[in-house]
């Protein structure tokens, strides 16, 4: 049984929260793309956690967690994340955490490059990409240039350290062009030694492990980072991440390109949020934005940045559902709309005086205006609702309307950040 959990929108839909919940029925949770630019917040009986690299199944004792080959791994960050969880009483060992030998190592110079490029963009164009500045775009670029170190090399460091001088010389061609002091090869060796040494026991052929597990009938969940609109191919380029955030990539990025997904569960938010730059057609401004941001606590989990917010966007969500091939939806944060007497929904875009319903090419988005429609709100606290029957009629109707607008079944609705605060609709 292979299920993917992916984001329908711009990210921060509550994927971590849903993986924490739904992983009760799974043996393995595997991250398949991205790096420590993810911020997945999980609140359960063990506490409140923000996970960047570790899969959100790490909080369940019987779940094996995998960092797949499609990921980029900041060694120091991962060591810190493991340490923090251990302090909170979470057991982490090579039994419940496995890192793909093919996953790529994000180096300190990638982080430096990310910062320097965002600053250059800011000065040159006034429009930086809104990167989390954690080196993700530079390391994925290096991966495609084939100038990277991979986790499996930590098992034979002599060979690896022998490659450092050349790769650093190549990287310094770029670093110096930004006017920065060159990177010292020995510093990189020291870095790999210090943090790689702590992680090498977790490294293995996770593809082999997953194939065996699948053959034994184990249930495998793939956890995406970010959402469809941040995908490197299908998202709002260049305001995207640098990896493939879509469900179809999960088997490849996990290490099992031979296996097919049984189910894709799309995590969709009851309204919209977008961290960082880029076109965001349904965006609210002024007081409307402040009210919604505060109600939803919309500040980045990885960076603390205030997120841009807007009402539910049916145009973008339909596109996200298509990209993710979602079979069913988990609708999150419905309780955030509790305070509204009337709720707006962006049902279409207006472009050159015409109403459009299909999500257009990124450049065209700059010229699109949202078409808002209003529905009656429920205007009461729904956070204690646990069945569809508990919901006020207006909330039930809102869910059914989103189902109709998106042509996809909404199976789960979450009404709070805590593990138990959800409803199974059917």
CB of 7 to ligand GDP, least distance (A): 6
Stretch that binds ligand GDP, among 34-42, 75-83, 240-248, 358-366 (CB under 6 A): 34-42
Residue 12 binds Mg ion (CB under 5 A): yes
Residue of 20, 27, 40, 231 marked catalytic: 40
Residue among 301, 323, 336, 395 that touches Mg ion (CB under 5 A): 301
The listed partner (Mg ion, ligand GDP, none) that binds 117, CB under 5 to 8 Å by sort, is none
Active site residue 180: no
Nearest to 312 by CA among 388, 375, 390: 375
Q: How many CA atoms lie within 13 A of 120 on its CB side?
A: 11
- Active-site hit among 12, 101, 231, 327: 12
Q: Is 40 in the site for ligand GDP (CB under 6 A)?
A: yes
Instruction: State the distance between the two ends of the chain, measured CA to CA, in whole angstroms.
Output: 20
With contacts defined by CB under 6 A, name the span among 15-23, 62-70, 79-87, 130-138 that binds ligand GDP. Answer: 15-23
CA distance 335 to 273: 15
Q: Is the dihedral of CA 116, 9, 54, 81 positive or negative?
A: positive
Would you count residue 12 as binding ligand GDP (CB under 6 A)?
yes
Contact 88, 46 (CB under 8 A): yes
Return the one option of ligand GDP, Mg ion, none that residue 17 interacts with (CB less than 5 to 8 A, by type): ligand GDP
Nearest residue to 282 via CA among 307, 315, 306, 305: 315
Q: Which residue has the tokens 């305070």?
A: 339
Q: CA 129 to CA 394: how far, in whole Å?
A: 39
C-alpha 268/C-alpha 284 separation (Å) is 18
16 or 135: CB nearest ligand GDP: 16
- By beta-carbon proximity to ligand GDP, the closer residue of 14 and 311 is 14
35 binds Mg ion (CB under 5 A): no
| 313 in catalytic set | no
Binds ligand GDP by CB under 6 A, chosen from 139, 301, 365, 385: 301
Burial 22-53 (b: 16+ CB within 10 A, else e): bbeebbbbbbbbbbbbbbbbbbbeeeebebbb
User: Quick check: 415 binds ligand GDP (CB under 6 A)?
Assistant: yes
In the complex, what is the shortest distance from the CB of residue 100 to ligand GDP, in angstroms, rounded to a whole number? 21
Site for Mg ion, residues 38 to 57, rule: CB under 5 A: 39
- Strand 64-67 relative to strand 97-100: parallel, antiparallel, unpaired? parallel
- Interaction between residue 221 and ligand GDP (CB under 6 A): no
- Please check whether residue 227 is in contact with residue 320, taking contact to mean a CB–CB distance below 8 angstroms: yes
- Contact between 336 and ligand GDP by CB under 6 A: the answer reads yes
In the complex, least distance from residue 309 CB atom to Mg ion, rounded to whole angstroms = 14
Task: Determine the Cα–Cα distance for residues 172 and 178; give it in Å rounded to an integer.
Answer: 10
C-alpha distances in angstroms, 279 versus 23, 205, 237, 273, 369? 34, 40, 10, 12, 11
Q: Does 14 bind ligand GDP (CB under 6 A)?
A: yes
Q: Which is nearer to ligand GDP, 164 or 275 (CB)?
A: 275
Q: Site for Mg ion (CB under 5 A): how many residues?
A: 3
| Contacting ligand GDP within 98-157 (CB under 6 A) | none
Q: Using CB under 6 A, list all residues that contact ligand GDP.
A: 7, 11-17, 39-41, 43, 297, 301, 332-333, 335-336, 414-417
């Amino acid at each position: 049984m292979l299920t993917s959990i992916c984001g329908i929108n711009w990210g921060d839909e509550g994927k971590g929260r849903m993986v924490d919940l739904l992983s009760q029925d799974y043996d393995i949770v595997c991250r398949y793309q991205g790096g420590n630019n993810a911020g997945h917040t999980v609140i359960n009986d063990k506490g409140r956690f923000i996970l960047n690299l570790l899969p959100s199944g790490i909080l369940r004792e019987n779940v094996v967690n995998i960092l797949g080959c499609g990921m980029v791994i900041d060694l120091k960050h991962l060591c810190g994340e493991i340490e923090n969880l251990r302090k909170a009483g979470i057991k982490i060992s090579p039994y419940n955490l496995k890192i793909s030998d093919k996953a790529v190592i994000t180096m300190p110079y990638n982080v430096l490059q990310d910062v320097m490029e965002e600053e250059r963009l800011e000065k040159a164009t006034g429009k930086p990409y809104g990167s989390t500045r954690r080196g993700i775009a530079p390391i994925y670029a290096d991966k495609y240039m084939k100038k990277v170190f991979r986790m499996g090399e930590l098992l034979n460091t002599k060979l690896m350290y022998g490659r450092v001088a050349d790769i650093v010389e190549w990287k310094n061609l770029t670093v110096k062009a930004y006017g920065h002091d060159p990177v010292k090869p020995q510093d990189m060796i020291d870095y790999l030694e210090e943090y790689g040494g702590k992680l090498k026991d977790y490294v293995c052929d996770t593809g082999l492990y997953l194939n065996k597990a699948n053959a034994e009938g184990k249930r495998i969940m793939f956890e995406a980072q970010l959402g469809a609109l941040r995908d490197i191919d299908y998202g709002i380029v260049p305001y995207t991440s640098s990896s493939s955030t879509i469900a179809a990539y999960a088997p490849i990025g996990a290490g099992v390109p031979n296996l097919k997904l049984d189910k894709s569960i799309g995590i969709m938010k009851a309204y919209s949020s977008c961290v960082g730059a880029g076109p965001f057609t349904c965006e609210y401004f002024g007081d409307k934005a402040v009210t919604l941001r505060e109600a939803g606590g919309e500040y980045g989990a990885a960076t603390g940045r205030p997120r841009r917010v807007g009402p539910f966007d049916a145009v973008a969500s339909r596109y996200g559902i298509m990209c993710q091939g979602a079979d069913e939806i988990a609708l999150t944060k419905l309780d955030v709309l509790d305070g509204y007497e009337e709720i707006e929904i962006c049902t279409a875009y207006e472009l050159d005086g015409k109403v459009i319903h299909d999500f257009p090419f990124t450049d065209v988005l700059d010229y699109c205006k949202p078409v808002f429609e209003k529905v009656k709100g429920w205007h009461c606290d729904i956070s204690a609702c646990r069945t569809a029957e508990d919901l006020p009629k207006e909330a039930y109707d809102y869910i059914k309307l989103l189902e109709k607008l998106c042509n996809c079944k909404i199976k789960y609705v979450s009404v709070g950040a805590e593990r138990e605060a959800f409803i199974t609709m059917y």
